[in-house]
Amino acid sequence: MFAVPRAIAQRIAGQHPAVSRAAAPALFCRCFATHKGQCHCGEVHFEVEGKPDWSAICHCSICRRTHSAPYAELCGYKPDNVKVTQGAESLSMYNVHGKSKEDRYFCKVCGSKVYSMLNHLGCKAVHLQNLTSPNHGADGKLHDDFKPSCHIFYASGTVTNHDALPKFETLPEAFGGDGKQLSNDFHDKR
């Protein structure tokens, strides 16, 4: 077993006060774990390295229309931390005829969204529900490291979400937005 450097163990314990120096190695290793995912039919497989840099629920009109759903759950990673490990030739890309800031990659066989290259943010976003390790499947349980931290483009959305997460009209300031937040019942008042 390797030893976690004291400075890293102290930083982890500082971020997670209940974590002792003895427990820090497990937390440290989880930061560098490889997680796997795939499209619905299994033609395309991918891996992500470590915990996501961010996780959000996107209500933008493009996500809603390309997913045929009220929102998309996304986990953001540095581009080098997302790798297609099988079926790259079965991926196709859509970006609203060159007008979008995102390149959306999907399986040509089953149509599942696999990941998006968010060019304006310099990162890739995988679709949370496609992760198979940790399993985010039919049991509906999300690993804490992958739980969304906010709603983005909530004003563009169509459904009300009564959860404790902040709901941004567009984007938080950290993503280059104005950080304006909306109430849970924003859609009920329109």
Spell out the SS3 assignment of the chain.
CCCCCHHHHHHHHHHCCCCCCCCHHHHHHHHCCEEEEECCCCCCEEEEECCCCEEEEECCHHHHHHHCCCCEEEEEECHHHEEEEECHHHEEEECCCCCCCEEEEEECCCCCEEEEEECCCCEEEEEHHHEEECECCCCCCCCHHHCCCEEECHHHCCCCCCCCCCEECCCCHHHCCCCCEECCCHHHHC
If one compares 98 and 82, the residue with the highest pLDDT of the two is 82
Find all residues with CB under 8 Å of 13, minimum gap 6, and list them: 19, 20, 21, 24
Calculate what percentage of the chain has a pLDDT beyond 70: 80
Binned at pLDDT 50, 70 and 90, residue 120 comes out as: confident
How far, in Å, CA of 10 to CA of 35, rounded? Answer: 26
Q: What is the mean pLDDT of residues 79-103?
A: 93
Report pLDDT digits (tens) over 16-55: 444 344 444 444 445 568 999 999 999 999 999 999 999 9
Q: Backbone phi, then psi, for 181, in 5-degree steps? A: -105, 150
Q: Find how far residue 3's CA is from the centre of its chain.
A: 30
Among all chains, which residue has been given the structure tokens 């890309």? 93
**What pTM was estimated for this model as a whole?**
0.78
Q: What's the rounded Cα separation, in Å, for the pair 170 and 77? A: 20
Which residue do the tokens 């986990």 mark? Answer: 75
What's the rounded mean pLDDT across residues 98-120? Answer: 92
In b/e form, how buried is each residue of 6-31, taking b as 16+ CB within 10 angstroms? eeebeebbeeeeebeeeebbebbeee
Strands 91-94 and 82-86: unpaired
